[in-house]
Structure 1
Amino acid sequence: MESKFHAFMFPWFAFGHMIPFLHLANKLAEKGHRVTFLLPKKAQKQMEHHNLFPDSIVFHPLTIPHVDGLPAGAETTSDISLSLDNLLSEAFDLTQDQVEAVVCYLKPDIIFFDFAHWIPELAKEHKIKSVSYMIVSATALAHINDPGVPFGVPPPGYPSTKVLLGENDAHALATMSIFYERLYHQLTTGFNNCDVIALRTCNEMEGKFCDYISRQYNKKVLLTGPMLPEPDTSKPLEERWSHFLSKFPPGSVVFCALGSQIVLEKDQFQELCLGMEMTGLPFLVALKPPRGSSTIQEVLPEGFEERVKGRGVVWEGWVQQPLILSHPSVGCFVNHCGPGTIWESLMTDCQLVLIPFLSDQMLFTRLMTKEFEVAVEVSREKTGWFSKESLSDTIKSVMDKESDLGKLVSSNHTKLKEVLFSPGLLDGYVDNFVEALADLINVKKHA
Structure 2
Amino acid sequence: MEEGYQNNRDEQLHVLMFPWLAHGHISAYAELSIRLAQQGTKVSFFSTPLNIAKIKPLFASRQIPSIQLLQIPLPKVAGLPPEIESTSNLPKHLTHLFDRALDGLEAPFEKLLADICPDCVIFDFMQWWAGRAAAKFGAASIAFSTFGATFISWGMHPVWRQYKNGLTAEDLVEEPRDYPSRSVTLRLYEAAGALFVHSAPEPGAISYPERCLRGLDACDIVAVKTCAELEGKYVEYFGKVTGKPVVPLGPLLSPHVSERNADSDVMTWLDKQSPSSVVYVSFGSQCFLSREEIAEVALGLEASWQPFLWALDSDSFWVPEGFVERVGERGVVVRGWVPQREILVHPSIVGFMTHCGWNSVMEGMSNGLSFIASPMQFDQCHNARLVVEELKAGVEVGRGKDGVFQREEICKAVRMITEDEGKEIRAKAREIGQMFKNKILKDEGTQDEYMTQFVKHLELLKANGKLRTDKEIRH
Q: State the alpha-carbon separation in 1 of the partners of residues 53 and 301 from structure 2.
A: 34
Q: Which residue of 1 aligns with 2:423?
A: 407
Q: Which residue of 1 aligns with 2:147?
A: 136
Q: State the alpha-carbon separation in 2 of the partners of residues 187 and 53 from structure 1.
A: 34
Q: Which residue of 1 aligns with 2:4?
A: none
1:20 aligned residue (24, 28, 32): 28
Q: Which residue of 2 aligns with 1:108?
A: 118
Amino-acid identity (%): 29
Q: Which residue of 2 aligns with 1:156?
A: 177
How many residues matched? 434
Q: Deviations along 1:79-109, whole A, 9 cap, x unmatched?
A: 1234433332221111112222222211111
Q: State the alpha-carbon separation in 2 of the partners of residues 265 and 85 from structure 1.
A: 20
Q: Which residue of 2 aligns with 1:313?
A: 332
Q: State the alpha-carbon separation in 2 of the partners of residues 352 and 44 from structure 1.
A: 33
Kindly tell me: are residues 159 and 214 of structure 1, through their superposed partners in 2, closer, same or farther at Cα, counting changes over 3 Å?
closer
Write the mapping of 1:46-445 to structure 2, written as runs, cut at 5 A: 46-51=54-59, 52-114=62-124, 115-143=126-154, 144=157, 145-148=159-162, 150-158=171-179, 164-165=184-185, 169-181=187-199, 182-233=207-258, 236=261, 238-289=263-314, 296=317, 299-400=318-419, 402-403=420-421, 406-421=422-437, 422=439, 423=442, 424-445=445-466
Per-residue deviation, 1:233: 4.0
Q: State the alpha-carbon separation in 1 of the partners of residues 54 and 367 from structure 2.
A: 26
Kindly tell me: are residues 266 and 236 of structure 1, through their superposed partners in 2, closer, same or farther at Cα, counting changes over 3 Å?
same
Return 38-47 or 5-14, whichever deviates more: 38-47
Q: State the alpha-carbon separation in 2 of the partners of residues 24 and 212 from structure 1.
A: 24
Q: Deviations along 1:110-147, whole A, 9 cap, x unmatched?
A: 11111110011111111111100001111111113333
C-alpha contact (below 8 Å) 1:23/1:50 kept by paired residues: no
Q: State the alpha-carbon separation in 2 of the partners of residues 443 and 354 from structure 1.
A: 44
Kindly tell me: are residues 164 and 178 of structure 1, through their superposed partners in 2, closer, same or farther at Cα, counting changes over 3 Å?
farther
C-alpha contact (below 8 Å) 2:393/2:428 kept by paired residues: yes
Letter in 2 for 1:264: L
Letter in 1 for 2:107: D
Letter in 1 for 2:44: T
Kindly tell me: are residues 140 and 83 of structure 1, through their superposed partners in 2, closer, same or farther at Cα, counting changes over 3 Å?
farther
**TM-score (structure 1 length as normaliser):** 0.91
1:9 aligned residue (4, 13, 17): 17
Q: State the alpha-carbon separation in 2 of the partners of residues 23 and 322 from structure 1.
A: 15
Q: State the alpha-carbon separation in 2 of the partners of residues 390 and 152 from structure 1.
A: 23
Partner SS state of residue 70, structure 2: strand
Q: State the alpha-carbon separation in 1 of the partners of residues 115 and 77 from structure 2.
A: 27
Kindly tell me: are residues 399 and 53 of structure 1, through their superposed partners in 2, closer, same or farther at Cα, counting changes over 3 Å?
same
Kindly tell me: are residues 128 and 148 of structure 1, through their superposed partners in 2, closer, same or farther at Cα, counting changes over 3 Å?
same
Return 62-71 or 318-327, whichever deviates more: 62-71
Q: State the alpha-carbon separation in 1 of the partners of residues 301 and 416 from structure 2.
A: 13
C-alpha contact (below 8 Å) 1:153/1:160 kept by paired residues: no
Partner SS state of residue 161, structure 2: coil
Partner SS state of residue 446, structure 1: helix
Q: Which residue of 2 aligns with 1:446?
A: 467
Partner SS state of residue 86, structure 1: helix
Letter in 1 for 2:189: H
C-alpha contact (below 8 Å) 2:260/2:342 kept by paired residues: no
Q: State the alpha-carbon separation in 1 of the partners of residues 250 and 93 from structure 2.
A: 32
- Where does the alignment leave 5 or more consecutive residues of structure 1 unmatched? none
Q: State the alpha-carbon separation in 2 of the partners of residues 191 and 84 from structure 1.
A: 26
Kindly tell me: are residues 429 and 331 of structure 1, through their superposed partners in 2, closer, same or farther at Cα, counting changes over 3 Å?
same
Partner SS state of residue 358, structure 1: coil
Letter in 2 for 1:13: L
Q: State the alpha-carbon separation in 2 of the partners of residues 373 and 237 from structure 1.
A: 33
Kindly tell me: are residues 256 and 225 of structure 1, through their superposed partners in 2, closer, same or farther at Cα, counting changes over 3 Å?
same
Return 142-151 or 119-128, whichever deviates more: 142-151
Q: State the alpha-carbon separation in 2 of the partners of residues 46 and 103 from structure 1.
A: 23
Partner SS state of residue 332, structure 1: strand
Kindly tell me: are residues 151 and 252 of structure 1, through their superposed partners in 2, closer, same or farther at Cα, counting changes over 3 Å?
closer
- Where does the alignment leave 5 or more consecutive residues of structure 2 unmatched? 1-9, 164-170, 200-206, 469-475
Letter in 1 for 2:192: A
Q: State the alpha-carbon separation in 2 of the partners of residues 228 and 410 from structure 1.
A: 22
Per-residue deviation, 1:53: 4.3
Q: State the alpha-carbon separation in 2 of the partners of residues 235 and 89 from structure 1.
A: 38
Partner SS state of residue 390, structure 1: helix
